[in-house]
Amino acid sequence: MGYLVIPLAAVLSVLTLPSYSCAMHISEGILPFNWAILWFAASAPFLAVGLRTLARRSERDLSSKPLLGMVAAVVFVISCMPIPVPTAGTCSHPCGTGLAAVLLGPSLGVVTAAVALLIQALFLSHGGLTTWGANLFAMGVVGSMAGFLTFRGMRRCGAGPVVAAFGAGLISDWATYATTAMILAAGIRGASPFWPLAGKIALAFVPTQLPLGIIEGAITAGMVSLLRRKRPDLLARTALSGLAEVNR
């Protein structure tokens, strides 16, 4: 469990800072029980694949778990910057899973999100245990896959790694919140039509999430650029190992 040390240290640092109470991610109790169980079931296979991938990589490289812990700490801190969206029953915030997916791959991006979300739910009352599966699906599964596919797609189209990383962070963030809007709409709509409610929730996110997506793209691009210039040895242990070889 050594890879949890860094995220737990991040928890302690956040707890010592002045803060206000705000329910982040999808709040505890928002989703009906049947929908909460559904999203746990939907997220479980992706988390299982991620844990298996981590175990296999750890057999080949003992630094895999500490590296995942470090990235999980980054995801934890980045996603602890909530901006309330009262009309949606949740908050806007950067996610960090686009960066995790670019550095570690989408399956381990799910694991980093799972660790960050669980610690936030247990220690900071951000999100919730009953909504952990839904938050993991939106932020970990969809966010990681959207970021990874965007990065790979842009690279194949000739974009540089820093530009592609910007696109990955941006699309990962927006995809997470589009999914969150649909999850919320499906869970709370009752007899109301799905799409009008999903559209209203998505629109509630727009004023905060549009600029936050751009900021997250810049953070992701900045991290990739910094690693290329300053820590190619660390980059060589990530999914971007080919870039480290180019820089040598």
Q: Return all residues near 11 (Cβ < 8 A) that are at least 6 apart.
A: 76, 119, 123, 124
In this predicted model, what pLDDT tens digit does every residue of 207-248 receive, in sequence order? 888 999 999 999 999 999 998 888 887 777 777 766 544 444
Q: Is 3 exposed, middle or buried (0-12, 13-18, 19+ CB in 10 A)?
A: buried
Q: What is the mean pLDDT of residues 103-108?
A: 94
Domain membership flag for residue 163: yes
- For strands 90-92 and 83-85, give the pairing: antiparallel
- Assess if residue 136 is contained within a domain: yes
| Residue 92: band (very low, low, confident or very high) from pLDDT cuts 50, 70, 90 | confident
Residue range of the domain that includes 156? 2-11+23-247
Rounded Cα distance, 25 and 9, in Å: 21
Q: Does 206 reside within a domain?
A: yes
Does some domain include residue 194? yes
pLDDT at 85: 67
> What's the domain count of the chain?
1
Residue 18 lies inside a defined structural domain of this protein = no
Phi-psi sector, 243: left (phi>0), alpha (psi -120 to 50), beta: alpha
The answer as to whether 186 is a domain residue is yes
17 within domain boundaries: no
10, pLDDT greater than 50: no
pTM: 0.85
Asked if residue 89 is part of any domain, the answer here is yes
Res 21: pLDDT: 38
Residue 38 is part of a domain; what is its CATH number? 1.10.1760.20
